[in-house]
Chains A and B, each alone.
Chain A
Amino acid sequence: GQNIDQPTEMTATEGAIVQINCTYQTSGFNGLFWYQQHAGEAPTFLSYNVLDGLEEKGRFSSFLSRSKGYSYLLLKELQMKDSASYLCAVVDSNYQLIWGAGTKLIIKP
């Protein structure tokens, strides 16, 4: 079966760095998305990785290792507004999105 694993919840301190991991087992791989979702709102696109390596976008970076079925989202200089759920989603061989359950990130002052 297809499976995406993310931690359910993480807590971090304002100004710190946090890494949210995502491991996947899917039928084929055509890319991996990270989305941010604030409570009660629709997800917002953060990043897309299809090749191995690190993609940096301001305070957010995303890393992919296809051989390990592993990705992480790195958030630097955490702000209170970063408190949200972070969703990992993999595009499988049929170009369907397989969603993880999301990681709820709690930022403390």
Chain B
Amino acid sequence: GAVVSQHPSRVICKSGTSVKIECRSLDFQATTMFWYRQFPKQSLMLMATSNEGSKATYEQGVEKDKFLINHASLTLSTLTVTSAHPEDSSFYICSARLRETEAFFGQGTRLTVV
């Protein structure tokens, strides 16, 4: 299957700092990428849909100024958690759509804010 690379896999940061997570589709072009958040023992929660060359569409309740999404190219989308707080600690997962029929996930990033 197609490969989506997400980096870093784990990050620990201090409260108040910003963290950038990258999501790359390695062998295909993805016009649409999705960013999810997953709390322990819960389902994936869609945060935003990122379309190449345009502003991301955020789900209700997700602060766009806190979770900055940039989709500058057909193979790269980034999520920046700004002014991180301990409650932002979570598992963040990106997904890139190859066709309407398939979306491939990155490995996920476990963010811990101390």
- Residues B100 and A42 in contact, CB atoms below 8 Å apart: no
Q: In the complex where A50-B101, A97-B34 touch, is A42 in contact with B46 (Cβ < 8 A)?
A: no
Count, chain B residues at interface, CB 8 A: 21
Q: Which one of A33, A43, A100, A102 lies within 8 Å of B93 (CB-CB)?
A: A43
- Residues A30 and B100 in contact, CB atoms below 8 Å apart: yes
Q: Which one of B1, B43, B102, B107 lies within 8 Å of A42 (CB-CB)?
A: B107
- Residues A41 and B108 in contact, CB atoms below 8 Å apart: yes
Q: Which residues of the other chain, B, contact A30 by a CB distance below 8 angstroms?
A: 100
Q: Which residues of the other chain, A, contact B91 by a CB distance below 8 angstroms?
A: 40
Give the contact-size bracket for chain A: 20 to 34
Q: Which residues of the other chain, B, contact A31 by a CB distance below 8 angstroms?
A: 100-101
Chain A residues 57-109 with CB under 8 Å of chain B are: 87, 91, 95-97, 99-102
Q: Which one of B43, B104, B106 lies within 8 Å of A99 (CB-CB)?
A: B43
- Residues A48 and B101 in contact, CB atoms below 8 Å apart: yes
Chain B residues 71-100 with CB under 8 Å of chain A are: 91, 93, 100
Q: How far does the alpha carbon of A89 sit from the alpha carbon of B93 in the complex, in Å?
A: 15
In the complex, B105 has a CB within 8 A of chain A: yes
Q: How far does the alpha carbon of A40 sit from the alpha carbon of B107 in the complex, in Å?
A: 10
Other A-B pairs beyond A42-B105, A96-B49, 10, CB < 8 Å: A30-B100, A31-B100, A35-B105, A41-B108, A42-B6, A45-B104, A45-B105, A50-B101, A99-B44, A99-B45
